[in-house]
Structure 1
Amino acid sequence: MQPENITLANPLRSRNDIRQLINELLNAVTPFFKKDASRVDLANFTAHYGQRVANMETFSRLLWGVTPLLAGGSEPEQFSFYIQAIKNGTNPQHADYWGEVDPYDQRIVEMAAYGLLLALAHETVLAHFNEQEKTHLWRWLKQSESQAIPDNNWHFFPILVQVGFHKAGMATHPQALEKHFAAMEHYYLGEGWYSDGPGRPRDYYISMGFHFYGLIYAKLMEKADPGRCAELRRRATLFAADFIHFFAEDGAAVPFGRSLTYRFAQAAFWSAAAFAGLEVYSPGVVKGIVLRHLRWWMKQPLFDRDGVLSVGYSYPNLIMAEDYNAPGSPYWGLKTMLVLALNDSDPFWQAQELSLPALNAEHSIPQADQILVRQPGHLWMLTSGQLELNNFVNTEAKYCKFAYSTRFGFTVERGRYGLSHAAADSMLLLSEKDNYWRGRRDCACVKTADGMIYSRWQPWHDVTIDTWLLPLGDWQVRVHHIHSARNLDTAEGGFSQPNRPHPLVETGPGSCQLTTASDISAIFCLSPHSRRGEELLTPPNSNVLFAERAAVPLLRGELTAGKDLLISAVWAGESADFNAQLCPQAIIRDDVVRLVTANHEKRLTLTDLPEISV
């Protein structure tokens, strides 16, 4: 049910439509403003940094919507509250002072919003501040210059504070800025890609973090720092050619990685590209990506009944939340509203909204170890080697599955014991005959080449699995070469789909197919090793896209100690497009596997492996 204070009828096609949406999102939070305070209390749950900082975070993240309104020539209805709250929060003598920050402090994250506020709306905002109040604001933000922070996208937060100081005529610290830019160079991978810190994943933080902030810097500091700004634009241009493949024709983006509760921040990169005037795709194409994405999200049940953004993905779901997701965390999605800072005459708003350009059905990204596959009504991604070293909640489910889908999402683990709790979709799980299941987590080696992704992983120290993932047209094929010192049970799942209505289940000695009027999800065993087809039902609220129980087509089998070869083919999409007769065939001769369909063929050699030390 859509809350009354969020207008479902908003077509989200014009600048005024976006302005209306921002105001509705902000106004839904207004009843939770605390009089004479500088925090917003939305709910009773909290994050690891505690309720007081979480309430400060909520207020601060609203500024990602307030700032584009101000820069675009309008004010939020509660403008006086925002001004007074900032004054109170940065005044050391006030009871609601936000406080002195500590190393690795969440408040440093939120300082970026104030940097952008100063950069884009300092004249409007500071007109309401006296000199002492300006000094308080400057001193509070200045704490970001020297505090220890995680070695990842956080380096951009003090950088944006320096940009705000520069644009507002406040004293800057050029050495701090240089230090943080230098730190991020250590994990620039080339071709526009960063990892989110040394050895860390390549997820949406690269788009909504590194490049979003980098393009803001490139726009606002072009005269002061032209060389760096040109390089940031160059990298963003390279990245855009890959990132466009993450978006489906209906506006959805592939759900993958942590922090999915930021939701429409998935398109923040494109808003920053428009803001910076990045000449990568035509303004009409960029406009289409942003607006279709927002329209897709506004069709999801992502709000609580009072119109407040919930924690979750397409629906309220604390089960998939991170330890750092507080009630106000989802308002980071307002970063995508940056396009409202562009005036009516900007090419973005003047352009006619256009569809996605012609894109290859298969797009490989070696720097991220990802392959995007586009079929009618279904966009999916193969990936390997994306372990999040901080071990955030459900890391394996969010990063380590074989595939992620705009149509079918993915499930998160609900418990170690029992297969139904173990998030078996798009995974090979193994159990040592005790119903405790292990899947792929960290990889000893990953290589993306020749239209396939290879990885080596060890669920136990004496079980080594070499896995190849490859698309063959609309089919996904997986090859697992297993060396095991243990007797194991195996379970390999295809894409999950909603169990309501319950799908027609067709199982056989080596296949399982789940069919509804609109969808099919199927998995077939292509290897000589015998496996039986089964349907698996997961608990409710385990899939990030739908709340009902998920149905997963599954292959079950047993392995004895020694060497084994498991090959499977997966298909999922619109029912009308499926033809089981087109399932790939696996032709195995010695150590060579040929994978063949009517229109495609790929081959791999099981012994042709990268140099690996395990």
Structure 2
Amino acid sequence: MQPENITLNNPLKNRDDLRKLVNQLLNAVSPFFKKDASRVDLANFTAHYGQQIANMETFSRLLWGVTPLLAGGHEPEQFSFYIQAIKNGTNPEHADYWGEVAPYDQRIVEMAAYGLMLAVAHKPLLAHFSEQEKHHLWQWLKQSENQDIPDNNWHFFPILVQVGFHHCGMPNNAEALEKHFAAMEHYYLGDGWYSDGPGRPRDYYISMGFHFYGLIYAKLMADVDPQRCRTLRQRATLFAADFIHFFADDGAAIPFGRSLTYRFAQAAFWSAAAFADLEVYEPGVVKGIVLRHLRWWLQQPLFDRDGVLSVGYSYPNLIMAEDYNAPGSPYWGLKTMLVLALGENDKFWQAQELPLPAREAEHSIPHAAQILVHQDNHLWMVTSGQLELNNFVNTEAKYCKFAYSTRYGFTIERGRYGLNHAAPDSMLLLSEKDDYWRGRRACQQVTTADGMIYSRWQPWNDVTIDTWLVPLGDWQVRVHYLKTERELDCAEGGFSLANRPLPQTELAASKSVMRTATDTSAIYCLSPQPRTGEQVLTPPNSNLLFAERAAVPLLRGELNVGTHLLISAVWAGDTEDFNEQSCPQAIISEGAVRLVMSHHQKHVLFLENPQ
């Protein structure tokens, strides 16, 4: 159910439509504004940094919508509140002062919004500020320059503050800017890709963080720092050629990684590309990506009844939240509204919306250890080697599964005891015959080459698994070469379906197939190791895309001490397109596996030299 104050019939076709949506999103929060305060209190749950800072975060994230409106020549309806709140929050003498920041402080994150506002909307903002009030704002933001912060995308927050200082005529610190850019250079991987800090994941923070902020910098600092701006644009151009594969024809993006509650921030990169006039695709293509993505999100039940964005993914779901997700955190999605800073006559808004360009059916991204597969009405990704070292909740589910899907999402773990709680979709789970399950987490080795991804992982010190993930047409084949010093139970899952309507299930000695009138999800055993088809129902609210219980097709088996070869084939998509006869075959001989399916075949080595 969508709230009445968020227009369901907004076609989101033009600039006025998007401006109307942003005002509705902002106005839904305005009843929670407090007189003479500089914070917004939306709910009675909080993040690890406490309620006061969480309320300051809520206010600050609304500015990602306010600023493009101002830059585009429009004031939000509650503009006077925003002005007064910024004055109060940055005034050390005011009772609601936002305070002095500490190392690794969440308030440094939120300062980026003020940097952008000062850069592109300082005239309508600062016209209401006295010289003393301007000084308070500058002094408060200046705290970001040399404070200790996490060594990741956070380095861009002080940079955007300096950009704001430069454009509004406040004193800036070039040395601090250089320091933060130098830190990020250490984890540039090449071909447009960063990791989110040394040895950390390549997730949506690369698009909605590094490149989003980098393109803003490239646009606003081109005259001051031309060489760096050229580099940032070149890297973003390379990245765009990969990132376009994360979006399905209907506007959905692959759900993967942490911070998914930021929702339509998944498309923030494309808004920044339009803002920076990055000529990587036709303006109509970029416009289509942004607007289809927003339209897809407005079809999801992502709001509370009062029109406030909930924490969750496609529906309210605190179970999937990180410990830094507060009630206002989802409003970082407003970063995608940056295109409103472009005038009506800009080529982005003048262009006719175009569909996605033709793309190869299978696209490999070695720097991210990912392969994207464009199946009819189903975009999915196989991946290996990503692990969030901070061990945020459900790290394995969000980063370490074998596959992620725009259509079937993925389930998060509700507990280690009991297979139904252990998030078995797109995973190989193992148990010491006690119903406590564990799967892939850290990978000791990862290689992406020849249209497949190899990884080595150890769920226990004396259990080693070499895994190959191999897209074959619309099928996903997994080969596991496993050496174990302990007796184990194993369970391997395919993609999950919503359990309403109840799927028809076909279980046999080597397969599990679930069908509804519209969707089919299947997994087949292709190896000699006997495994039996089963179905598991996960708890409600465990799948990110649907609140119903998820039904997962599984292969179950037992493993004695020794060496084992497990091969499975997975398929999911439109029921009318499912053809069991097209299932790949595995031919095992002379230390190799040859995978064959109609016109596709690939070789996988699995013995002592797996790579």
What band does the TM-score fall into relative to the shorter chain? over 0.9
- Aligned 1:219-258 pairs, distance under 5 A: 219-258=219-258
* Rounded Cα–Cα distance in structure 2 between residues aligned with 1:416 and 1:379: 29
Q: 1:226 to 1:610 in 2, by over 3 A?
A: farther
Q: CA deviation at 1:577?
A: 0.5
1:44 aligns with 2:44: yes
Q: CA deviation at 1:609?
A: 3.8
Aligned to 1:382: 382
Identity %: 80
Aligned to 1:268: 268
Aligned to 2:283: 283
Aligned to 1:486: 486
Amino acid at match of 2:351: A
Aligned to 2:303: 303
* Rounded Cα–Cα distance in structure 1 between residues aligned with 2:275 and 2:521: 40
Aligned to 1:522: 522
SS at match of 1:467: strand
Amino acid at match of 2:122: H
Alpha-carbon displacement from aligned partner over 1:340-395 (angstroms, at most 9, x marks no partner): 00001111000000000000000000000000000000000000000000000100
SS at match of 1:35: coil
Alpha-carbon displacement from aligned partner over 1:205-234 (angstroms, at most 9, x marks no partner): 000000000000000000000000000000
* Rounded Cα–Cα distance in structure 2 between residues aligned with 1:83 and 1:607: 66
* Rounded Cα–Cα distance in structure 2 between residues aligned with 1:410 and 1:329: 22
* Rounded Cα–Cα distance in structure 2 between residues aligned with 1:610 and 1:334: 45
- Aligned 1:579-590 pairs, distance under 5 A: 579-590=579-590
Aligned residue pairs total 611
Amino acid at match of 2:97: Y
* Rounded Cα–Cα distance in structure 2 between residues aligned with 1:564 and 1:221: 58
Q: Return 5+ residue gaps in structure 2 as ranges.
A: none
Q: CA deviation at 1:604?
A: 1.3
Alpha-carbon displacement from aligned partner over 1:64-93 (angstroms, at most 9, x marks no partner): 000000000000000000000000000000
Aligned to 2:21: 21
Q: CA deviation at 1:606?
A: 1.2
Aligned to 1:154: 154
Q: CA deviation at 1:610?
A: 6.6
* Rounded Cα–Cα distance in structure 2 between residues aligned with 1:276 and 1:547: 38
1:55 aligns with 2:55: yes
Aligned to 1:475: 475
Q: CA deviation at 1:605?
A: 1.4
* Rounded Cα–Cα distance in structure 1 between residues aligned with 2:121 and 2:174: 22
SS at match of 1:556: strand
* Rounded Cα–Cα distance in structure 2 between residues aligned with 1:528 and 1:248: 36
Alpha-carbon displacement from aligned partner over 1:377-433 (angstroms, at most 9, x marks no partner): 000000000000000010000000000000000000001100000000000000001
Aligned to 1:372: 372
1:120 aligns with 2:131: no
SS at match of 1:144: coil
* Rounded Cα–Cα distance in structure 2 between residues aligned with 1:463 and 1:291: 47
Alpha-carbon displacement from aligned partner over 1:96-117 (angstroms, at most 9, x marks no partner): 0000000000000000000000
Alpha-carbon displacement from aligned partner over 1:245-300 (angstroms, at most 9, x marks no partner): 00000000000000000000000000000000000000000000000000000000
Alpha-carbon displacement from aligned partner over 1:512-551 (angstroms, at most 9, x marks no partner): 0000000000000000000000010000000000000000
Q: Return 5+ residue gaps in structure 1 as ranges.
A: none
SS at match of 1:145: coil
Q: Is the 8 A contact 2:426 2:493 kept in 1?
A: yes
Alignment RMSD (CA, Å): 0.6
Q: Is the 8 A contact 2:427 2:492 kept in 1?
A: yes
Q: CA deviation at 1:599?
A: 1.6
Q: CA deviation at 1:5?
A: 0.6
1:502 aligns with 2:502: yes
Aligned to 1:545: 545
* Rounded Cα–Cα distance in structure 2 between residues aligned with 1:344 and 1:219: 18
SS at match of 2:521: strand
* Rounded Cα–Cα distance in structure 2 between residues aligned with 1:339 and 1:540: 37
Q: CA deviation at 1:173?
A: 0.4
SS at match of 1:92: coil
Aligned to 2:5: 5
SS at match of 2:464: strand
Superposition TM-score, scaled by structure 2 size: 1.00
* Rounded Cα–Cα distance in structure 1 between residues aligned with 2:22 and 2:565: 54
Amino acid at match of 2:547: A
Aligned to 1:81: 81
Aligned to 1:179: 179
Q: CA deviation at 1:590?
A: 2.3
Q: CA deviation at 1:607?
A: 3.1
Q: CA deviation at 1:608?
A: 6.7
* Rounded Cα–Cα distance in structure 1 between residues aligned with 2:576 and 2:262: 34
* Rounded Cα–Cα distance in structure 2 between residues aligned with 1:270 and 1:609: 42
Superposition TM-score, scaled by structure 1 size: 0.99
Q: 1:502 to 1:231 in 2, by over 3 A?
A: same
Aligned to 1:433: 433
* Rounded Cα–Cα distance in structure 2 between residues aligned with 1:393 and 1:117: 33
Aligned to 1:334: 334
Q: Is the 8 A contact 2:466 2:610 kept in 1?
A: no
Q: 1:480 to 1:76 in 2, by over 3 A?
A: same
SS at match of 1:393: coil
